[in-house]
Structure 1
């Protein structure tokens, strides 16, 4: 079985390289004058028309890779490969080290910089090839059209820029497809890839802006401004292109860092204009040409619809731990079949606060340690989280809370065990991903059989009351948690207080909610065999789409084209294609979702009301004068050293770490991540392996 998986992965890699080769050859004379005519002559049919060859060359290979990737991941899950730690240092460790620390791109590794450079080179190569081909006989073309040579070059440059922008569109939606099998195949997650979406989006909008300006200047110069209002029935529709470009401008402007961070809701709602952008882009160039950029959006559309179906369910909120530092831990009922890796995230919606807002949170629980619980931590830092904390911490808090969840999403496996020492550095609420890592290591240490690295947790807080967040390392449930089996050292720094504040002695409080018959435990949207179902949705929806469009073309569009001198309209053809894609995806996704929901409901246990007494926090203050309630709390307190009124000397701490391989994971403010990345990339120590966890873009 493992050999089969290796063969499948090799085949998919070769197929993807062939797909990339097409993009390299696309602007060449060989492709346009020999390859493309030959392919079209052999694929021309009365069922698919001119779009058949484009779908075969550009759409089918990626959808095939995504489908086969689902089968590959399903086999890996059956074999248990997804959770196997990689003990040996990767050959690409050096390439993953940061090379750029500060700047508009953020923290960039050698590997990321290499791929970004190759992508820029692809755009440069395509631009040069297109312009060389278009300018080859520009003098004759200009004289025939009655244009000056520079005017003809301006028009051709606009066309070339449009073709280059389409390369960016082809790759734009892959990074934001959360449940993507393609990303999982290459070891990436959508959270880590959002930055690539941002990079490609900026490049695309820059190119499309110059594309539009070239045509506007050309039309103004040649007295053809009426072209701005032209919607050609057969050729390119200018009005549709302008609507798509204006929609892109709105998304582009609100995605700038200052606007996105200060007015996130404006950014979030405006970004839904991507629907308008894609629809009018298809109207602009026609569906046949849009098949070049279709695969990424097709997979994103499937993922988005599945997320919509999952978001309609209400999940069972079992309890909430209220911390005095205005932080709350939410504990949800979870299906035992659902498993996830440390640092996974879920998107949470609370209709009682906002029906539209979804916020990502790191899962702090461990699927092995807590098979029936899923936990997240929410710190009161914005209007949404503040209102949530106020509702839960109120003495008149409700006995039931409606919550919806999308996810979880996260890495297929982790590589923590390949290090001798694990150094985790956090600032404020950035400690939450490390809670899931520590719980995972506790679980593995209790089970035995593997070597657990030494753990050094460096956490910085503004106030001493924030130290109660360390209490979250121990789960709320009655699970026996023996933290003493870990070689763990916790260095906590309180930066804005010189000593403990007496008013901080507020005990941690736990609220238990009554079960509701309509609530369901958190579970995978497509059940335990989710990858297999996703592959089935991708393949079957595309087959249904081909059947629908084939029937329409053969028995409706083709007779019109043959029986009269009027060619069937490009916009109408594009509209039918988009409608059939949506219908095919909706039909197959809904069927798979309902089938798995029915199956899950048969084995679903009723959410029980657990009358567990409230817990109190350990003695983080007053030098341990408060009585400890259990051995785990005692072990946790003994492993913790608190420093008041100072910041950690990160350079000294990291350079003093011993071991041939020291994993350095940082989560928190951008300044903290940049400082740690700078130390790891300085070359002062060869054993430091940097990794950043960030959910701010």
Structure 2
């Protein structure tokens, strides 16, 4: 019998290895195809501002594809829209196959040091902490923008005499007008990619191994470049109109469409919306007046609508891919946020922090350091705030937890609501979006992981430790030695370390994890004699209508996303082609009449939203039914709240019971008063061939760690940063 079992185990291992090998080959093929398609896409950007594209390529493409079915949109869709959507669909399959691979095979492999120098951090004043890889791609983007600008300048300046004659201008005036035009065209390059980094559930970001939180800085770079160019574009046109006595052009809507196909008023309104958004994005304003920044940023909807009306159908198709994927993601977020989720308990810490514990679907899986956006109507009906998910989907299959620390008016009000006795016997209405996180994590690739945190930056570290707790106890995989270096303002904040273990931890369980903790209390020189307040656990009684947190697209979310992208785009193409053939062409063969152009532009915007709304809603409702079946099997209250009265209680007994697993988890813990950590000593003394230096905290702390890792004093340091304060 034993021999039979051993043979079966070997056969199953061999089959799993073969499957993993096939998946690796498939994923490598997808990467190769995507790289080739993307290079072709970039080539189209390089060719577009030249005579070759307009005089040779466009007529050839229109003839070969019979694109009269779509009009001028046909070749533009083929050249600029289809490639990115195709890569997005491939990214969905790539990520889905990655999740099917053995977790040990992905996570336990050691770091490949062949291209380590490309990941070395550097500090650039205007950009912050960046790696050579990020700097390389940013430089390539700048070169593309400069080429686009210079090529169009050459294209138009060759014909400047003809342009000046047609307008009755002097040559220098015509040059000024063409300069303003080309600057605006260059801004379109940044605008095309602007929405990709903020698409939270983006398959493209997952393809690149990025999360939306880690990509916010790219959105900021692109936004600043786009607004600088669009502001210069609008300013130069106003100067040109003033110098040529044509300020009345500013009040024209349709009259110039027969020549340049732009609406001036729409462009001015677009720029106005952009300037309002841009003015609130500067760090000092964004951090001190977050609500102003948050509300004004919703002007992006008007910005895009006026931009499309300003430029017309041609530029819709160029910038469509990024916007298209963003709208899909935003609509799915909207559908998910309409549901009230089941909040079952909260742990109130003496440092004015709260751990909210939600019921979740067992099918929902998420990666370490994921974030979830939370809305609590009793605090604010409109505001959504992101928080790190500290729970582990395998260690805590029925619970999802986030930690919220008081650092603003919203979090302070939430703390008061949760901790007040009046909220104990009541349900707290909560809506969420997410969770969102990186497709994979690679903390197991290091021999030693040094986690450096400041203040609320400890929350991602808690999620990592809980993930490694599961790895060490359930999987045959060696976990790295962990060194947690945390700075706190006062002693009460040490209670954050009690969250290293989940609330559901059993007292008899021990953990095979090598964890050392060094805590630094910066505003107290000695240990206080008074004991801090105990942690309180507050239980809520949710309504039967409250649902566990589940993925908006279910267990096979990436496959559903691929279906939404492809099917909605097909619907858009079919209806757009029918509209062109049976409405536009019978009215006007050239499709250049003002009323038809305006009407077709508005119809195209509507059609994009319609096709996305229909397919996304259908997929969401189908998966909602599947989630409802699982919800019926879950009791109204979680098992660990059975038999308990819904009241606040001290956690003294619980903490005594938890002392055994906590002691087995934490090997050593040192508390330093009145000092800050010597990061240089801690990092350089870390042992191991591969040492991960993970930092989450204030800007200066991130810069200090990056400077040490890039100094060259130690070759084994690998810098990683998590930031929530862009």
The TM-score by the shorter chain falls in which range?
Answer: over 0.9
Gap change, CA 1:674 and 1:45, over 3 Å in 2: closer
Would the alpha carbon gap of residues 404 and 586 (structure 1) be closer, same or farther in structure 2, given more than 3 Å must change?
Answer: same
Higher mean C-alpha displacement, 102-111 vs 39-48: 39-48
Distance in structure 1 (CA, Å) of the matches to 2:337 and 2:359: 16
What is the deviation of 1:123?
Answer: 1.1
Which residue is 2:107 aligned to? 85
Measured at CA, do residues 62 and 83 of structure 1 come closer, stay the same or move farther in structure 2, by a change above 3 Å?
farther
TM-score, normalization: structure 2?
Answer: 0.92
Is residue 643 of structure 1 aligned with residue 672 of structure 2?
A: yes
Equivalent residue number for residue 470 of structure 2: 443
Which stretch has the larger CA shift, 575-584 or 280-289?
280-289
TM-superposition CA deviations, 1:558-590 (whole Å, max 9, x none) = 111149995653221100000111111111111
Q: Secondary structure at the match of 2:362?
A: coil
- Superposed CA RMSD in Å reads 2.1
1:189 aligns with 2:211: yes
The correspondence of residues 288-327 of structure 1 with structure 2, limited to 5 A, is 288-327=314-353
Offset, 1:10: 1.3
> Counterparts of 1:512 and 1:564 in 2: how far apart (Å)?
64
Is residue 255 of structure 1 aligned with residue 278 of structure 2?
A: no
- The CA deviation string for residues 363-382 of structure 1, in whole angstroms up to 9 with x for no partner, is 10111110000011011111
Stretches of structure 2 that go unaligned for 5 or more consecutive residues are: 1-21
Deviation at 1:449, TM superposition (A): 1.5
The partner residue of 1:229 within 251, 267, 272 is 251
In structure 2, the residue matched to 1:283 is 309
The question of 1:34 aligning with 2:63 is answered no
Deviations 1:453-493 (A, max 9, x none): 11111011110111010000011014468554111110111
Give me the whole-angstrom Cα distance separating, in 2, the residues matched to 1:189 and 1:370. Answer: 23
Q: Quote the residue 1:47 is aligned against.
A: 69
Q: How many residues align?
A: 690
Deviation for aligned residue 1:262: 0.8
Aligned partners of 1:508 and 1:617 also within 8 Å: yes
CA distance in 2, matches of 1:226, 1:567: 19
- Determine helix, strand or coil for the equivalent of 2:422: coil
Task: State whether structure 2 residue 30 is matched by structure 1 residue 13.
Answer: no
Alignment of 1:581 onto 2:621 = no
What SS does the aligned partner of 1:203 have?
helix
Partner of 1:657: 686
TM-score (norm 1): 0.95
* Residue 597 of structure 1: aligned partner: 624
Q: 1:426 aligns with which of 447, 450, 453?
A: 453
- Gap change, CA 1:483 and 1:346, over 3 Å in 2: farther
Asked if 2 retains the 8 angstrom alpha-carbon contact of 1:370 and 1:479, the reply is no
Instruction: Provide the C-alpha distance between the structure 1 equivalents of 2:266 and 2:620, rounded to a whole number of angstroms.
Output: 35
Residues of 2 paired with 1:294 and 1:458: CA distance? 45
Cα distance in 2 for residues equivalent to 1:628 and 1:73: 41
Matches within 5 A, 1:196-215: 196-215=218-237
C-alpha distance in 1 between matches for 2:111 and 2:102: 21
Check whether the contact 2:591–2:597 (CA below 8 A) recurs between aligned residues: no
How far has the Cα of 1:84 moved from its partner?
Answer: 2.5
The answer to whether 1:99 aligns with 2:122 is yes
Q: 134, 144, 160: which is aligned to 2:182?
A: 160
Deviations 1:136-191 (A, max 9, x none): 23235434543222111111111111211111111100000000001111111111
Segment of structure 1 superposing worse, 113-122 or 130-139: 130-139
Match of 2:17 in 1: none
* Distance in 1 between residues matched to 2:652 and 2:679, nearest whole Å: 29
Question: Structure 2: how far apart are the matches of 1:515 and 1:267?
Answer: 33
Of the structure 1 ranges 215-224 and 418-427, higher mean CA displacement relative to structure 2 is found in 215-224
Mapped contact 1:44–1:50 kept (Cα < 8 A):
no
CA–CA separation in structure 1 for the residues paired with 2:484 and 2:264: 58
**Structure 1 residue 32, shift from structure 2 partner:** 2.6
Q: Distance in 2 between matches of 1:16 and 1:163?
A: 21
Using the alignment, how far apart are the partners of 2:591 and 2:270 within structure 1? Answer: 32
SS at match of 2:274: helix
Give the distance between the partners of 2:717 and 2:590, measured in 1 at CA. 72
Change (3 A) 1:381 1:83: farther
For the pair 1:359 / 2:359, whether they are aligned, the reply is no
Distance of 1:474 and 1:198 partners within structure 2: 36
Structure 2: distance between partners of 1:97 and 1:564: 54
How far, CA to CA, are the matches of 1:182 and 1:369 in structure 2? 29
Match of 1:623 in 2: none
Note if contact 2:510-2:661 (Cα within 8 Å) is conserved in structure 1.
Answer: yes
Deviation at 1:509, TM superposition (A): 0.9
Equivalent pair of 1:471/1:618 in contact (CA under 8 Å): no
- 1:114, distance to aligned residue in structure 2 (A): 1.1
2:704 to 668, 675, 690: 675
**Rounded Cα–Cα distance in structure 2 between residues aligned with 1:617 and 1:104:** 49
Conserved 8 A contact 1:464-1:504: no
SS class of match (1:520):
coil
Tell me the residue number matched to 2:26.
Answer: 4
Q: Determine whether 1:116 maps to 2:138.
A: yes
Q: Are the counterparts in 1 of residues 355 and 403 from structure 2 also a CA contact under 8 Å?
A: yes
Measure, in 2, the Cα distance between the counterparts of 1:263 and 1:194.
19
Instruction: Label 1:516 to 1:143 Cα distance change in 2 as closer, same or farther (>3 A).
Output: closer
Shift of the 565–287 alpha-carbon distance from structure 1 to 2, 3 Å rule, reads closer
Q: Structure 1 CA distance, aligned partners of 2:311 and 2:294? A: 27
